[in-house]
Amino acid sequence: MSKYNLLLTVFTGLFLILISGQVTAQVPRSAAKAYEKAINAYAVKDFDKTFHELGKALKKFPEYSEALFLSSQTHLDLHQDSLAKIDLRRALNIDDKPFETGWLVLAELDWSSGYYKDGLYDIKQFEKTVTFRTINRNNELKAKYRWVKEGLNFSFTAVLNPINNLVLQPLDSNVNSVYPEYYPSMTLNGKTLVFTRRVKSENGKYAQEDFFESKLENLSWTSAKRLSGINTPFNEGASSISGDGMTIIFTACASPRDGFGKRNGKGSCDLFESKFDRTTGVWSLGENLGKPNSSAWESQPTLSSDGNFLVFARARHTRGAGSDLFGVRRGDDGKWGVPFGLPGNINTPYEEESPFLHPDGKSLYFSSNGHPGLGGLDMFVSRKGDDGLWGTPINLGYPLNTHNSENSLMVEPDGAIAIFATDRSSSKGDLDLWSARLPISVKATPVGVLSGVVLDAVSLEPIEAKVVLINATSGDTLASVISNKFNSPNGFILPLPEIGRYSFEVSKEGYMFKIADVFSIDSTSNERHEVVLLERIITGATLSMRTVRFESGSSKLETGYQADLSKLASWLKTNPTTSVEIVGHTDDVGNTEVNLELSISRAYSVIEFLVKSSISESRLSHSGVGSSVPISSNSTDKGRAANRRVEIVVK
């Protein structure tokens, strides 16, 4: 529920008192008559007459608290919060008995307008009332009191402790214009920026939202151009572009006259998916995502860099009625599954919206007025834990957040620079895109680009293959894509975090698979390019697995995720007619006979792992050769490490 709906709900009780004629003050008859006319005018939403009659009543009797309460309510209905505050404070100071909860409403108004000290005073006044002494009988009022008080305390402290050395600056005029710009999104290499701009419609009567694109060239953004194919005379907004720049998930909303136009929709706003055609340079119109959409309002998507996980905001029908963040995964068939509320501590009874999932896969930025903030929608970050739950959100701090509503934030792949929409002073338009360097506490993990192409080892022709980046410690998939044989030299693009140990796996049915450890991006570059050669499955084909981990001097496998063995089991399931021999190898340190026995035992441990993974033992055999077949010199640590391996031989 939004803040203003709550305010109107609180005032409903007061209004029932007002219209029942239970006036607590002794007022002149002429003032009471004007007040009665004001009530009648308010009931039919004739606000001009309401103010006119209230003015007459207050002129006759300036201490007429009931008239001031009604004036405050009317200003709220018209979203004139500053005027509502003036009348409400006057009324409460005259006599708060008819509406003691008014102090809490006033505290919330002060909070939302940045008057935090005044708001804390209002809270103290509320805590002196009879209503507060019985607050435990009203759970809704108790929850609101805690929400407002926590927000005011947080805000007061945040302003006293601003972010040090924060530099906020607008993007250049090639991006920002006299029109509003918002909802930025960026490709994984940081060189393409896509955003929404609200422009004049083709018929000139109304504004419409379209997508624009700017390229980073020589450290500057090029002049923004409207995307071709995806834009229509209707509204397209809130886009998210995939890491490889080939897919856009976006929002389109139905108009009262034309609905979704040429698109098919379900609710007031739906999510659609558009693909880029490299040959024509045109984006597709966009297909409805299907299951993620409902009769409600779905919007503001953020797509994982590999294009397989989506986070979006959903409200019952329209914004301002409370919204939550949902997630949904793409299946192996390319279709989106059933969405689910994000697990953990993100969603509240209030509004969560404008999510951005950083390419590190574990930092989710979003806006909310349900967590302690500075008065409006504030920007937060939540980290995904090893248990899959999203942790307690961290407010990005003041002055990134203010008493106004801040949203529409994204963080560049380097994890340090945020781009967000704001209407702060000196910006060029109504809303412009600004950048800021984030404090360390709310940065994301820096992410580079792991790109490449998969080739047939014999023909050297590009082939389609599954490319997966896995956390080598936990076994969690960070990204998974199908290498496109038509996109050479970059058949695939994956995010590669700077911190952590990762397993890079490539596989295709009918081919041997490839697996390698990737520890981080290169220290001198945030990009890494790989050319992967896959060999067809033929008798005698071999595959070396160098990251199988055994306990020291033992044939017992280490506990934890075994990337090589897990992939081997998966590969054998994908190629059910293939049989293999497991061959163990050691370095030359120690006794030759002991090494031979160790290599045989380790090979058998791999057999046991595969059998437990539902691979038939009839397809498996094993042997060991000790240190007799080195592939590198045993005179160095690196060479000995290479020689300690397990090989797979196709039988």
For the record, the structure tokens of 491 come out as 């058949």
Class of domain 3-160: mainly alpha
Q: Tell me, what's the pLDDT at 14?
A: 47
In tens, the pLDDT along 424-455 reads 765 555 789 999 999 999 999 999 888 899 99
What six digits make up the tokens of 243?
Answer: 């890491």
Task: Output the pTM of the full model.
Answer: 0.84
Tell me, what's the pLDDT at 527?
79
Neighbours of 511 (CB within 10 A): 22
Say how far residue 636 (Cα) sits from the centre of its chain. Answer: 46
* pLDDT at position 317: 52
Q: Between residues 12 and 296, which one has the greater pLDDT?
A: 296
User: Does 296 score more than 60 pLDDT?
Assistant: yes
Given a cut of 70, is residue 650 above it in pLDDT?
A: yes
Phi and psi (nearest 5°) for 301? Answer: -75, 155
Q: What is the pLDDT of residue 321?
A: 62
Confidence check: pLDDT of 16 > 70? no
Q: Is the pLDDT score of 11 beyond 50?
A: no
Return d(Cα 322, Cα 316) in angstroms, integer. Answer: 8
Structure tokens at 207: 């504004």
Per CATH, the number for 538-651 is 3.30.1330.60
128 half-sphere exposure, CB direction, 13 A CA radius: 10
Max CA separation in the chain (angstroms):
113
pLDDT of the residue at 561: 72
Instruction: Please state the rounded mean pLDDT for residues 334-363.
Output: 95
> CB of 293 within 8 A of CB of 267?
yes
**What's the chain's average pLDDT?**
89
Residue 281 φ/ψ region, left for φ over 0, alpha for ψ in the -120 to 50 degree band, beta for the rest = left
Q: Given strand 620-624, what is the order of strands in its sheet? A: 542-545, 646-650, 580-584, 620-624
Structure tokens at 230: 């995806």
pLDDT value of residue 3: 42
Average pLDDT over residues 25-40: 90
Task: Note the pLDDT of residue 450.
Answer: 87
Q: For residues 645 and 230, which has the higher predicted lDDT (pLDDT)?
A: 230
Superfamily of domain 446-536: Immunoglobulins (2.60.40.10)
Identify the bridge partners of residue 511 per DSSP, sorted by sequence position. Answer: 536
Transcribe 578-645 into DSSP letters.
--EEEEE---SSS-HHHHHHHHHHHHHHHHHHHHHTT--GGGEEEEE-TTSS-SS-TTSHHHHHHHS-
Count of C-beta atoms within a 10 Å radius of residue 189: 18
Q: What pLDDT does 255 receive? A: 79
Closest CA to 439 of 219, 158, 150, 115: 158
Please say if the pLDDT value at position 489 is more than 80.
Answer: no
Higher pLDDT: 114 or 423? It is 114
Average pLDDT over residues 283-302: 94
Is residue 4 very low, low, confident or very high in pLDDT (cuts 50, 70, 90)? very low
Mean pLDDT computed over 215-222: 93
Provide the pairing of β-strand 309-315 with 282-283. unpaired
Q: Where are the domains of the chain?
A: 3-160, 177-442, 446-536, 538-651
356-366 per-residue burial string, b: 16 or more CB within 10 A, e: under 16: bbbbbbbbbbb
Please state, in angstroms and rounded to a whole number, the distance separating the CA atoms of residues 244 and 355: 20
Tokens 């906020």 — which residue?
A: 168
Q: What is the pLDDT of residue 145?
A: 96
Q: Are 441 and 394 in contact (CB under 8 A)?
A: yes
Average pLDDT estimate for 486-513: 84
Residue 517: band (very low, low, confident or very high) from pLDDT cuts 50, 70, 90: low
Higher pLDDT, 12 or 127: 127
Find residue 288's DSSP bridge partners. 272
The region of weakest confidence among 21-25, 171-175, 251-255 is 21-25
Q: Which of 78-82, 314-318, 323-327, 474-478 has the lowest mean pLDDT?
A: 314-318
State the CATH class of domain 177-442: mainly beta
Show the tokens assigned to 184: 């930025």
How much is the pLDDT for 428?
Answer: 55
**Do the beta carbons of residue 162 and residue 399 sit within 8 Å?**
yes
- Place 88 in a pLDDT band, splitting at 50, 70 and 90: very high
pLDDT tens-place string over residues 380-418: 999 999 889 999 999 999 999 999 888 899 999 999 999
**The pLDDT value given to residue 554:** 81
Q: Is 28's pLDDT higher than 80?
A: yes
pLDDT given at position 7: 40
Name the more confident of 279 and 104: 104
Percentage of residues in the chain having pLDDT higher than 70: 92
Query: How would you classify the pairing of strands 340-341 and 514-518?
Result: unpaired
* Residue with the larger pLDDT of the pair 501 and 167: 167
Q: Which 8-state DSSP code applies to residue 441?
A: G
Q: What does each C-alpha distance from 73 to 15, 25, 40, 78, 131 come to in angstroms?
A: 9, 19, 14, 9, 20
User: Residue holding tokens 């792949």?
Assistant: 413
Q: Where are the alpha helices (DSSP H) in 271-335?
A: none
